[in-house]
Amino acid sequence: MSNVQFHEMPDRRKIAYRHTSGSGPTLVFLPGYMSDMDGGKATSLFAEAKALGRSCLLLDYSGCGASSGDFADGTLSKWRDEVLALIKAHATGPILLIGSSMGGWLMLMVAEKLGDRLAGIVGIASAPDFTEWGRSEADQAKLLAGETVYDENPYGPEPTPMHPGFWADGQANRMLDSEIAIHCPVHLLHGQRDADVPWEISMRLSKALRSDAVQVTLVKDGDHRLSRDSDIALLKAAVSSFY
């Protein structure tokens, strides 16, 4: 995909994004941990939005993809502020947030700040609070002591790091143990063969959300990515229900 543009933050961080204008709420896709806007789900949604004349915004968090910065400096709070800055600068009208994995945690943090502009949210293997339930006590002790923890990466040759700054910020933004003050319609998709984020996390999230308009779709043979053609068709159908 082409047409990458850059939004400059006050500290001169340059956030890469793609935007197509159109009708209806602006679809804003939030990628997962160490992911970017070139993934299959993001590009499929963008292409469909463009074909249907809908508004869509993709972005890379600082330190990821084509954006400037060091991944080691990234935190959920920092990336939330980047998403909000791009929405303010480049999106008009209501906002439909789609978050994948870590992006499903970030979409909740963004959603709380959007107020009346929030039209709905769609979560894909949403992973709120994974700095807590996704880390052993031994790992948390290392992170608390300022040590980076590395995990095996099933999607590439290099191990996946979790830096102490990201972990500390995540711990400060945990959401599942209290009511989440989001009132809009919500659709959560989760594969029951997800080896990274247990599908029960989406069930916990559905209970924590204040909204009564929450739908959870479990894909019995679905993995973490939910990127097969059938999974993407399911995602597109969920998104289309908001138009």
Question: Which residues are catalytic, by number?
Answer: 101, 194, 224
Burial code (b: 16+ CB inside 10 Å, e: under 16) for 149-168 equals beeeeeeeeeeeebbbbbbe
Burial code (b: 16+ CB inside 10 Å, e: under 16) for 185-218 equals bbbbbbbeebebbbbebbebbbebbeeeebeeee
How many Cβ atoms from other residues are within 10 Å of residue 6's Cβ? 13
Q: How far apart are CA 175 and CA 105, in angstroms?
A: 9
How many Cβ atoms from other residues are within 10 Å of residue 18's Cβ? 23
Phi, psi (rounded to 5 degrees) for 80: -60, -45
In the numeric block, which tokens belong to residue 229?
């053609």
Q: How far apart are CA 121 and CA 194, in angstroms?
A: 21
Q: How far apart are CA 21 and CA 43, in angstroms?
A: 15
Kindly provide the residue ranges of all beta strands, DSSP E only, lying in the chain, ordered along the sequence: 5-8, 14-20, 23-30, 54-59, 95-100, 118-124, 149-151, 160-162, 186-191, 214-219
Q: How far apart are CA 16 and CA 176, in angstroms?
A: 30
